[in-house]
Amino acid sequence: MSAVEPGKIRNLAVAGHRGTGKTSLIEALLFQSGATTRLGTVEAGTTVSDWDEEERKRQLSLQASLCHVLWRGNKLNLIDTPGDAGFQGDLLASLRVVEGVVLVVSGVMGIEVQTGRIWKRAEELGLARCLVVNMLDRERADFDRVLSQLQSQLSSHCVAVQVPIGVEHELSGVVDLLHLKAYTSPDGGKEMVTSEIPAEIADAVAAQREKLLDAIAETDEALMERYLEGEEIGGEELSRALEQAILRGEVFPVACAVATKNLGSTAILDLVSECMPSPEEKGAPSGLDGIAPGAFVFKTIADPFSGRINIFRVVGGTIKADTTLTNPRTRGKERLGQLLIMQGKDHSSADAVGEGDIAAVAKLKDTQTGDALLDADRQVELPSIGFPEPVMSFAITPKAKGDEEKMASALRRLAEEDPTLLLRRDPQTGEQLLSGMSQMHVEVAVERLAHRFGVEVELHQPRVPYLETIRKEAHGHGRYKKQTGGRGQFGDCHIEIEPIGADEGYEFLDKIVGGVIPQSFRPAVDKGIREAMQRGELAGAPVKGVRVRLVDGSYHTVDSSEMAFKIAGSMAWKQAYEQADPVVLEPIMEVEVTVPDEAVGAVNGDLNSRRGRLQGMEPAGGMTTIRVEVPMAEILTYAQSLTSLTGGRGDYHMQFVRYEEVPSHIAQKIVEQVKKEREEEHSH
C-alpha cells in the first residue's frame, strides 16, 4: 500500500461512556464499507477492534484499537477507545492524534459521566466533533429527548443531520437530512437499501431539515442570503458549508444508529467522509506543528511474540519503510523496518505512510508512548499526553517463589503499553504496589500477566501508610553496658525530644558541651535514633515531626564504640518516645465522586459512614459531582460500593492531601492489630 495524500484522510477517535456501542458502531462501518464480510458482535467476541482476550471475556474495550475503512475515495482511520474511566489513558493519547471525535451516546441513557468529560477534553484540544445516538431500537430509547439533552448540556449548536424512521423495536431505518435520502432494511437484515422517505414522517423530516439549514446558514453569510431568498441549496454545497462550520466548532452534527443491525452506517460514513476535517485542513495536532518530517508515537502494544508494536501518527513528510529516524528523548537512532497498516490485531505492510496518516511499526529498540521520531538530531519539546496519576494501589506478590524478577519485568512491559500502570516498592511497608486507575484496571493487568507472560500473581489490599508523631516534649536516657571477656561495650546518652509538626520530618541537634561524648561518637547516636524511628512503638509506622537534642552523656576511653552509642541512642529514643504522648497519623484523600442525581443521598450517606467530610457539591445536567475528604483506610474498597450504589453509573478519582491524627478508638484497633502481628512474628 502506498502513501495516502493528507486531504483524503480522516482521523477519528470513536469515544463515549462505556456500553454505548462504540465497538459495534466501528464493526458496522467496517462491514458497510466492505472492509469486512460479516458483522461481528461484542457478545460473540467476533469484532475486529476488541481482539484482546480480556476484552472478549469482559465484553468491553480495554485499550485503543486502530481500524480503517475506504469510503468515497477517502481513508477513514477509526480509533476504538475505551469508555471505562479506568482505561482513559488510551483515550487521552488517541485524542492527541486525530482531527475529530465521533462521540457515541446511548439512545436510552443519554449523557453519562464520561460523555461530558470527553466533550470537555475534545473542546480543550480544538477537535471537530460529531455525535451518534446509538441503540435507538431499545426500549425507552428516544432520539428527540437525547437530542434536546445534548443541546442543553453540551452545546446549543448540536443539530440533527439524520432522523430515525420509527421508534424502539419498530425502528426500520434513518433519513439523511443533508441529502434527503432514506436508508432502510426492508427484510430486517443487515443490508441497507436507499428508499423513499415515508410519507408519515415527511413533516417531521421537513421541520428537522429546516433547523439544520438554519444552523448551517447562520455560519455562512453568502449562503444565508440565498437561503433567505428561498433558493434551494443542494446536498453537496450544504456538506461543504457544514464541513467549514464543524471545522470552526460552530456546528456539531448529531446522527442516529442501531449499530448492531447496521442501521445508519451509510449516512454516518457519508457524514464523516464529507464533513469531518482532514489533516490537510487541520494541520498537525496541537503542539506538534513544525517538527516535520516525523512521527508521534501515541500507543504501544506489548506482544510477547512480536515484541513491541508502536502505533504512530505521521506529523510531517512521508515516512518510507526502512527509514532511520532519531528519538530526541533517548538521542538514539531507530530503524523503521516494515511499516504496518493496522486492522484491529491484523496488519498489512505499506511501502510508505504519508503526512497525517496513522500506522504502526514493530521492533523499535527504545521508543515508547509519547515519543517523537524525527529525521534530524533535533531537540524538540513535545506536548505531554497528560496521563492521569494512578489512584488505586494493591500489594502484589508472585504465586511462585522466586518469580519476583519475572513479575517485575512483565509489569514493566505492560507499563510501556499503558503508562497509567505503575509498579513501585513502598519504602515504608516494603510491599510491591501495583497502582492503576481503578480496581478493574489493576485486575485486567493481572490477567494479562498470566495470559501473555505466564506470570501468576496475587493481589492483596495494600497496607495504609500510617505515620506516627509526638504531641509533647520528653526526656530519655540510654545506657548500654556490656562486659564480656576482654574488651567491653559502653555508651551513655541523654536526649530531649519535642514535636515540630508532622510535615517537617526529623531534626537532630548536637548540644553536647565540654566533650562528655567525643565528637566521633555523636553521629552514631543520631543513626541509632533514625533507625529506631523507622518503626514506631504504636503502629510500627515511621515517626515524623520530631526534633531531637543530644544534651549529655558519658563514655569510656577503652570500651566505648560507635556500635555502643548507636544502641544507647535507640534506647534513649524509646524511653523518651513513650513519654511524649505519641499518636498515629493517617493519610487523608481528596475524592471527587460523580454520580446520577438520584443516587446523591445514598452516596453521601455511604461517604459519611467512611468518616468522609463533605467539601462541596456541583450538579450538572443530571449528574452531581461530590467533593469530599476521606481517610485512605476507608476508601481502599470503594469501587464496588460505588458501582452497587449507582448501578455502575458513578465514578471517582482521588489524590492525597495531608496526614491527620487517627481518632483514638480507631488508633486503638490499629495498635492492637500491630501488637498481634508482632507476637505472631516472635512466635514463628
pLDDT computed for residue 330 by the predictor: 85
Do 15 and 147 reside in the same domain of the chain? yes
pLDDT digits (tens, 9 = 90+) for 2-36: 788 989 999 999 999 888 999 999 999 999 888 88
pLDDT computed for residue 160 by the predictor: 94
Give the CATH number of the domain where residue 656 resides: 3.30.70.240
pLDDT computed for residue 495 by the predictor: 97
pLDDT digits (tens, 9 = 90+) for 485-495: 677 899 999 99
In a domain, 673, yes or no: no
Give the CATH number of the domain where residue 527 resides: 3.30.230.10
Domain count, the chain: 5
Give the CATH number of the domain where residue 132 resides: 3.40.50.300
Mean pLDDT of 358-373: 89
Q: Would you tell me how many other CB atoms lie within 10 Å of the CB of residue 127? A: 25
pLDDT computed for residue 158 by the predictor: 95
Do 336 and 419 reside in the same domain of the chain? no
In a domain, 649, yes or no: yes
pLDDT, the chain, mean: 87
**Residues 54-59: contacts with CB within 8 Å, 24+ apart?**
54/444, 54/447, 54/448, 54/451, 57/447, 58/444
Dig out the grid coordinates for 588 from the structure: 487523608
Mean pLDDT of 643-651: 82
Q: Which of 229, 251, 282 is the last residue of a domain?
A: 282
pLDDT computed for residue 294 by the predictor: 86
Mean pLDDT of 302-326: 85
pLDDT computed for residue 257 by the predictor: 93
Q: Please name the residue that has the C-alpha cell 425507552.
A: 140
pLDDT at residue 382 greater than cutoff 80: no
pLDDT computed for residue 520 by the predictor: 92
pLDDT at residue 229 greater than cutoff 70: yes
Highest averaged pLDDT of the listed ranges 188-192, 285-289, 395-399: 395-399
Determine the angle formed by the axes of helices 235-247 and 202-217, rounding to 10 degrees.
Answer: 50
pLDDT at residue 476 greater than cutoff 70: yes
Helix (H) or strand (E) holding 446: helix 439-453
In a domain, 287, yes or no: no
In a domain, 677, yes or no: no
pLDDT computed for residue 621 by the predictor: 66
pLDDT digits (tens, 9 = 90+) for 416-451: 888 888 888 877 667 888 888 878 888 888 988 888
Q: 194-203, 370-379, 506-515 — which is least confidently predicted?
A: 370-379
Do 361 and 411 reside in the same domain of the chain? no
pLDDT computed for residue 640 by the predictor: 78
- Prior bond of 390 cis (ω within 30°): no
Q: Can you spell out the DSSP letters for 70-138?
A: EETTEEEEEEE---SGGGHHHHHHHHTT-SEEEEEEETTTBS-HHHHHHHHHHHHTT-EEEEEEE-TTS
- Map residue 617 onto helix, strand or coil: strand
- How many angstroms separate the CA atoms of 493 and 509, rounded? 13
pLDDT computed for residue 684 by the predictor: 67
CB 177 within 8 A of CB 205: yes
Do 507 and 631 reside in the same domain of the chain? no
Do 608 and 624 reside in the same domain of the chain? yes
In a domain, 680, yes or no: no
Give the model's confidence band at 353: pLDDT under 50 very low, under 70 low, under 90 confident, else very high: very high
Do 630 and 529 reside in the same domain of the chain? no
pLDDT at residue 111 greater than cutoff 80: yes
pLDDT computed for residue 63 by the predictor: 82
In a domain, 379, yes or no: no
Q: Can you spell out the DSSP letters for 198-231?
A: PGGGHHHHHHHHHHHHHHHHTT-HHHHHHHHTT-
Mean pLDDT of 589-611: 92
- Which of residues 510 and 238 earns the better pLDDT score? 510
In a domain, 679, yes or no: no
Residue in 356, 103, 385 with CA at minimum distance from that of residue 246 = 103
Do 555 and 637 reside in the same domain of the chain? no
Do 105 and 148 reside in the same domain of the chain? yes
pLDDT digits (tens, 9 = 90+) for 560-582: 999 999 999 999 999 999 999 99
Q: Which of 406, 433, 460 is the last residue of a domain?
A: 460
Query: DSSP assignment, residue 292?
Result: -
State if pTM tops 0.85. Answer: no
Q: 76-90, 278-292, 489-503 — which is least confidently predicted?
A: 278-292
pLDDT computed for residue 630 by the predictor: 96
pLDDT at residue 379 greater than cutoff 70: no
pLDDT at residue 683 greater than cutoff 70: yes
- Which of residues 57 and 507 earns the better pLDDT score? 507
Give the model's confidence band at 290: pLDDT under 50 very low, under 70 low, under 90 confident, else very high: low
Do 175 and 213 reside in the same domain of the chain? yes
pLDDT computed for residue 193 by the predictor: 79
Do 215 and 316 reside in the same domain of the chain? no
Give the CATH number of the domain where residue 319 resides: 2.40.30.10
Mean pLDDT of 330-349: 88
Of all residues in the chain, the percent with pLDDT exceeding 90 is 40
- Which of residues 527 and 388 earns the better pLDDT score? 527
10 Å CB burial of residue 230 (0-12, 13-18, 19+) is exposed
pLDDT computed for residue 430 by the predictor: 76
The domain of 348 spans 294-374
pLDDT computed for residue 540 by the predictor: 86
pLDDT digits (tens, 9 = 90+) for 55-95: 777 777 778 889 999 999 999 999 999 888 778 888 999 99
pLDDT at residue 108 greater than cutoff 70: yes
pLDDT at residue 474 greater than cutoff 90: yes
In a domain, 675, yes or no: no
Q: Can you spell out the DSSP letters for 522-565?
A: HHHHHHHHHHHHTS-TTTSPPB-SEEEEEEEEE--TTTB-HHHH
Do 202 and 81 reside in the same domain of the chain? yes
Mean pLDDT of 134-151: 92
pLDDT computed for residue 189 by the predictor: 58
pLDDT computed for residue 380 by the predictor: 66
Give the CATH number of the domain where residue 398 resides: 3.30.70.870
Do 435 and 320 reside in the same domain of the chain? no
Give the model's confidence band at 220: pLDDT under 50 very low, under 70 low, under 90 confident, else very high: confident
Of all residues in the chain, the percent with pLDDT exceeding 70 is 95
Mean pLDDT of 233-252: 86
Mean pLDDT of 184-209: 80
